[in-house]
Amino acid sequence: MGTQPPDAGTRPLALRLRLWRNRMIAKPGFRRWIARLPLLRAIGNAKANTLFRLTGGFIFSQVLLAGVRLGLYRALEKEALTTACLSDRLALPEERIRLLLRANAALGLVIEIRPDLWVLDDGGVILAADRGLDAMVRHHAMLYRDLIDPDQLLRTGAAQTELRQYWAYVREMGADGPKPAEVEGYSALMRDSQAMMADCLLASHDFARYRVLLDVGGGDGAFLAAAADVHPGLELHLFDLPAVAQRAARHLDALGLGARTHVHGGDFSRDPVPGDAECVTLIRVLCDHDDSRVETILANLHRSLRPGTTLVIAEAMDGSSDGARLSAAYFGIYFLAMGSGRCRSAREIAGFLAATGFQSIRILATPNPLIASIVTARR
């Protein structure tokens, strides 16, 4: 594509129609005309609401952060409470908790079931129940500070962002990898936020056919624990950076899975990973890395694994569904702030696998492409 806009005479019909429509919408008179026709008014107002949600997006995400930090959703988890009662429990003046509750009601998180009596709406129920979502919302405080000058970030990329500090492995690592204190924050976040991902993956791929499962970049072992729960016969192997592998061994032991578990510390871009598993998972791993590093990681796995081993890649991927598009928009900016990685489509990941020599590449549907899509291949 050149840097000049296409010549007016050669524009395709769909583009000409879109440009005409855009010119009309830009005219205040056209919008006043639309507002007089009930059906078009409803469409116009819905679009205005969407745009307003976006314009006020920072306020709304801060409403969410306040609700999480104050413990609003947890307080309402099992019962309906009055404004006065919430004011007492959350130690906030009554008029301010009412302000917060009304904002939450507009965002679909709570319902005012009768005047000054509050109960959770669907979104609030999930926020109260899911520790991972709670942790994600809290860690966004860092991301939002990194995004304070988004145009600058887009121009220069991330050199010194907080997310780059947080995700220790995206910076230059010494031979032993990051220290235990450097992996603590992200490992806890990944463990707490694994539940929805594990549900998606376990519902989409049958792990019952394997005897030995190896989770590469497996973090604290939350996915292995979820898989072990569903498939009691599985032998569990985990490979991660040494400081994370130590945590995983402790975590899996505390869950009573020590006897079924083998944990290995190393660098998946250069160290051999154990080659005796029938299935190897890479969950939320490739997306963290730039293309050249993805090639290195896959080439190293290809060298290490026995022919016939199934490789399962699960992460948020770009795609045509609303969920996949939303994920790609979110992670595109997230990885920009982190200074590493990319939200790829399943086809792009399939391309990397084929180029590294993996075979029988398949793209699997999952129950929720917002959380994950899956690509499998055979070594």
In the complex with ligand SAM, the residue whose CB is nearer, 120 or 317, is 317
Binding mask 202-241 for ligand SAM (x = CB under 6 A): ---------------xxx--x-----------------xx
Give the span between the Cα atoms of 73 and 60, in whole angstroms.
15
Residue 284 lies near ligand SAM (rule: CB under 6 A): yes
Return all residues near 367 (Cβ < 8 A) that are at least 6 apart: 199, 200, 203, 204
Find how far residue 375's CA is from the centre of its chain.
17
Three-state DSSP class for residue 1: coil
Shortest approach of ligand SAM to residue 344 CB, angstroms?
15
Q: Using CB positions, name the residue nearest to ligand SAM.
A: 217
Residue 169 lies near ligand SAM (rule: CB under 6 A): yes
Residue 296 lies near ligand SAM (rule: CB under 6 A): no
Three-state DSSP class for residue 278: coil
Shortest approach of ligand SAM to residue 48 CB, angstroms?
38
Return all residues near 215 (Cβ < 8 A) that are at least 6 apart: 221, 223, 224, 236, 237, 238, 239, 280, 281, 283
In this chain, which of 64, 153, 283, 328 binds ligand SAM, going by CB under 6 A? Answer: 283
In terms of Cα–Cα distance, which of 350, 353, 349, 379 is closest to 278? 379
Find how far residue 357's CA is from the centre of its chain.
28
Instruction: List binders of ligand SAM among 250-279 (CB under 6 A).
Output: 267-269
- Other Cβ atoms less than 10 A from the Cβ of 347: the count is 13
In this chain, which of 228, 252, 280, 285 binds ligand SAM, going by CB under 6 A? Answer: 285
In the complex with ligand SAM, the residue whose CB is nearer, 86 or 372, is 372
Number of amino acids touching ligand SAM (CB under 6 A): 19
Residue 246 lies near ligand SAM (rule: CB under 6 A): no
In this chain, which of 190, 294, 317, 375 binds ligand SAM, going by CB under 6 A? Answer: 190
The residue type found at 199 is D
DSSP state of 319: -
Q: Tokens for 270, please give them.
A: 């250069």
- Pair 213, 281: CB distance under 8 Å: yes
In the complex with ligand SAM, the residue whose CB is nearer, 284 or 344, is 284
Pick the stretch among 5-13, 148-156, 281-289, 333-341 that binds ligand SAM (CB under 6 A).
281-289
Give residues in contact with ligand SAM (CB under 6 A).
169, 183, 190, 194, 197, 217-219, 222, 240-241, 244, 267-269, 283-285, 288
